[in-house]
Structure 1
Amino acid sequence: MIDYITGKLKYIHTDHIVLECNMIGYKINCPNPFVYQQRIGDIETIFTYQHVREDILALYGFENIDERDLFMKLIQVSGIGPKGALAILASGVPIQVAQAIETEDEKFLTRFPGVGKKTARQIILDLKGKLENWTSAEVDIPHPPDIPQEGIDDAVEALVALGYGQKEIKKILPKLESEKQLSTDQYIKKALQLLLN
């Protein structure tokens, strides 16, 4: 497995980034690619997970090892695939996810796209007591400072890529539009907070 890739961040998309290493551009699916929007052109180290199936070969990338480990635990749960795990991590609140699992808070978990009551119960059964990194210590996930800019359209595209429906997005759109001068990353975080409340 490819443990990590260090290279130049070439560009970002709603569901992935492209990292150039030794003249090869690696497409890496990320929970929220827009956290990298101010780092295009910088040298970055992305911790990766290589997903292999008969019909797909994909790379998933994370800012740190703990985030990747949580992703790998989530995809081992029946009913949670890579896309579903990314949607959970994209919320930006992995510590709250871990706490919800430990306290058996099914209501919180079912707010994520594709997670029904049965899957939420399965997540709790499979992972409760196995998330020490997230529940026993504070985990610092650094994010770069954001430069204010319009980004609602990109944020909506990112939410669709994460699996949220148009009906859900339309409900929170007025609140997003009332926020002024936010970056795309900030709009996504705000939208996810609204969707999870």
Structure 2
Amino acid sequence: MIAYVKGKLAFITDDTVVLDVGGLGYEIFCANPYKFQNKLHQEMLMHTYQHVREDAITLFGFETEDEKYLFTKLISVSGIGPKSGIAILSGAEPNKFIAAVEQENEKFLTSFPGVGKKTARQIILDLKGKLSGLLIIGEENVGEGPDKNYDALNEAEEALQALGYGPKEIKAVMPELRKMEGATTDEMIRKALSFFIKN
């Protein structure tokens, strides 16, 4: 089992990063690859989970051990495979996901791609009470979906497209915009433009 990979970040795609380790490139699937953009061409360490099937060996990468642990718990739930687990992690911060499980918030959980009511109930049944010590969630309110500011995020994304920014650039800035709880569309657009200038 490959527990982590340490090497130079060679390049980033929509779904993966590639780490160069002594001339060998490891392709690693991540929830939000572009959040590592500031480490491009620098050495970094990526915590990894190795998934083995008859026809493929795939690496999934995480910034922290906590994220990796949450991923392994997710894929232990019947009906959730590695791709679904990564999709869930890309749509919500770990603390909000854990809060949703503890609060039995099925509406939040079913807002993720591939998660229906049956799978949401299974997640709650299998994981409730097993994740609360992973992160400090306090009085976290998970809202009605992965992003409380869904409308503002949507409008900001459409505005950036209209300004000529491509899918890769927009995907790179979305994790930053998701952190702006309570922000207006204009504030998010200004934040995005500032991000593009710096990066």
> Which bin holds the TM-score, normalised by the shorter protein?
0.7 to 0.9
Q: Contact (CA 8 Å) 1:84, 1:113: kept in 2 or not? A: yes
Matched with 1:185 is 172
Match of 2:23, as an amino acid?
M
- CA 1:135/1:37 → structure 2, altered by over 3 Å: closer, same or farther? closer
Matched with 1:14 is 14
- CA 1:7/1:133 → structure 2, altered by over 3 Å: closer, same or farther? farther
Structure 1 unpaired stretches of 5+: 139-171
Shift >6 Å, 4+ stretches: none
Q: Contact (CA 8 Å) 1:29, 1:59: kept in 2 or not? A: yes
Q: Give, in whole Å, the separation in 1 of the partners of 2:14 and 2:179.
A: 15
Cα distance, 1:81 vs structure 2: 0.6
Identical aligned residues as a percent: 47
- Say which structure, 1 or 2, has more relative contact order (CA 8 Å, 6+ apart): 1
Cα distance, 1:3 vs structure 2: 1.0
Match of 1:35, as an amino acid?
K
Cα distance, 1:134 vs structure 2: 3.4
Match of 1:61, as an amino acid?
G
Match of 2:158, as an amino acid?
E
Match of 1:128, as an amino acid?
K
Match of 1:10, as an amino acid?
A
Cα distance, 1:188 vs structure 2: 5.4
TM normalised by structure 1 equals: 0.74
Counterparts in 2 of 1:91-106, with a 5 A limit?
A: 91-106=91-106
Q: Specify the SS of the correspondent of 1:90.
A: helix
Matched with 2:28 is 28
TM normalised by structure 2 equals: 0.73
Task: Please say which structure displays the higher CA radius of gyration.
Answer: 2
Match of 1:75, as an amino acid?
I
Q: How many residues align structurally?
A: 163
Structure 2 unpaired stretches of 5+: 139-152, 181-199
Counterparts in 2 of 1:1-197, with a 5 A limit?
A: 1-136=1-136, 174-179=155-160, 184-187=171-174, 190=177
Q: Contact (CA 8 Å) 1:94, 1:134: kept in 2 or not? A: no
Q: Contact (CA 8 Å) 2:12, 2:33: kept in 1 or not? A: yes
Cα distance, 1:133 vs structure 2: 3.6
Cα distance, 1:22 vs structure 2: 1.6
Match of 1:178, as an amino acid?
A
Q: Specify the SS of the correspondent of 1:2.
A: coil
Q: Give, in whole Å, the separation in 2 of the partners of 1:105 and 1:192.
A: 21
Match of 1:84, as an amino acid?
S
Q: Contact (CA 8 Å) 1:176, 1:190: kept in 2 or not? A: no
Alignment RMSD: 2.9
Q: Give, in whole Å, the separation in 1 of the partners of 2:92 and 2:176.
A: 7
